[in-house]
Amino acid sequence: MGLKNLTASLLLCSLVVEALVVEASDAPLSALKQEQIDIDKSIDAKKASNLKYDWINPIVASYSYAVSDQYAQENKSRYFRISLDQPIFKSGGIYFAIKYSHASKTFAQIATSLKEHNLIKSLYDTVLSLQRIDLQIEKLRLQIANSLMDIARKREQFESGVLDSSFLDAAILSKSAQEQLLLDNKQKRFALLQTFKNLSDIDYKEVRLPHFEMVDKEEFIAKNLELQSAQAQKAQARYLKNMTISNYLPTLSLFGDYSNRKDSFRLFKQNNESKNYGLRLSMPLLDVNRGRNIEIKKLEYLKSQIMLKDRKKEIENSFKTFKNSISILEKRQTLAQNDATLYGALVRVARDGLKAGEKTKMDVDTLVNSQSIASLDAKIYALEIQSKFLELYAKMRDEI
């Protein structure tokens, strides 16, 4: 990764650690959010089953009971009928209908996975944001402490005539700006806490965040949910095109019915029972929209192919952007670590100067705070790196 060894306080936030893959079911989503996802998955499964067997026509049964006095005598008539009209061969249409149902099931499952991943991503990202803002608040408190010491020094120098009042005024304004920023961060933290409570039922400090290794482009593309969704849409368009073509080809159907009629009137009192069954071969001879319907489905299939290629290109470019962002954050983290190391050396010099009477305790405290601020910056950058990785992994199947 090009990073130097981190201090113990930074190890928890290190970019390169053993990858921990968290199953979606283990993510600490709220009970209500998880219940919605589980219901969505059940709906997807049932819709897929509907599509799979949609080509099978229902067996229809009917029963009627009628009373008539048409011939000055009451007649009771009962009629029962059961019928079936089922295509058993549609020139490939049945096969493509089943394949279309499989593609639709895959598309629905990917859509639900994306929804679930986005919820988990929001939860983890909110936790990372809370951790970052906690560090920012701690950093601002140290900066304010340094500003107060700087004001004290400049006030002493101003009172002794060494400094102009503008320097003291600048120091006071800087401290006020930091205090204002501290209030803003506290307000942001409160809003983030409410967001987290909407997503989970536990305390955010109890959430075990995953850490990720760098993934290569090939693996990212292979597991990319958006790309898989585009592939499923392409398959849907392909089978829908073939189904449309088959609608204009020969269809072989099995048909049959059974009926039973009973009349009570003596003039035609009877029990009639009949059966009728056989095979039917049919094919539409003329449909003015045939050519246009087929052409539309072909164009939709062609469009799905182009969209898949375009989406793959966009995903490849987004991966390049991701790697560049990680590289910049790593460099900033390294700079912050170097600053912490430099301040550490200055602290040792200042403490030696304090013993020799050449430095004041305020000088030492200022440098100690500055070292802590640089270390906090390194931690913040490490958390930002984790946020970038989270954004990437949330787009990959079965990775969070």
Find the CATH number of the domain harbouring 132: 1.20.1600.10
For residue 398, being part of any structural domain is answered with no
Report the pLDDT value the prediction gives residue 6, as an integer from 0 to 100.
34
For residue 226, being part of any structural domain is answered with yes
pLDDT tens per residue, range 118-158: 999 999 999 999 999 999 999 999 999 999 999 999 999 88
The candidate with the shortest Cα–Cα distance to 154, out of 180, 178, 175, 181, is: 175
The arithmetic mean of pLDDT across residues 251-256, rounded, is 93
Least confident of 31-35, 74-78, 102-106: 74-78
Mean residue pLDDT of the chain comes to: 87
pLDDT tens per residue, range 177-210: 999 999 999 999 999 999 999 999 999 999 998 8
For residue 329, being part of any structural domain is answered with yes
Domain that holds residue 298: 8-55+90-248+284-393
For residue 73, being part of any structural domain is answered with no
Report the pLDDT value the prediction gives residue 176, as an integer from 0 to 100.
96
For residue 22, being part of any structural domain is answered with yes
Residue 54 has pLDDT above 90, yes or no: no
Which two three-digit tokens encode residue 264? 């009570």
pLDDT tens per residue, range 264-301: 655 555 567 889 999 999 999 888 888 999 999 999 99
For residue 335, being part of any structural domain is answered with yes
Q: How many domains does the chain have?
A: 1
For residue 318, being part of any structural domain is answered with yes
Residue 389 has a CB neighbour count (10 Å cut-off) of: 20
- Does pTM top 0.75 for this prediction? yes
Between residues 1 and 231, which one has the greater pLDDT?
231
For residue 80, being part of any structural domain is answered with no
Buried b (16+ CB within 10 A) or exposed e, 230-267: bbbbbbbbbbbbbbbbbbbeebebeeeeeeeeebebee
d(CA 389, CA 381): 12
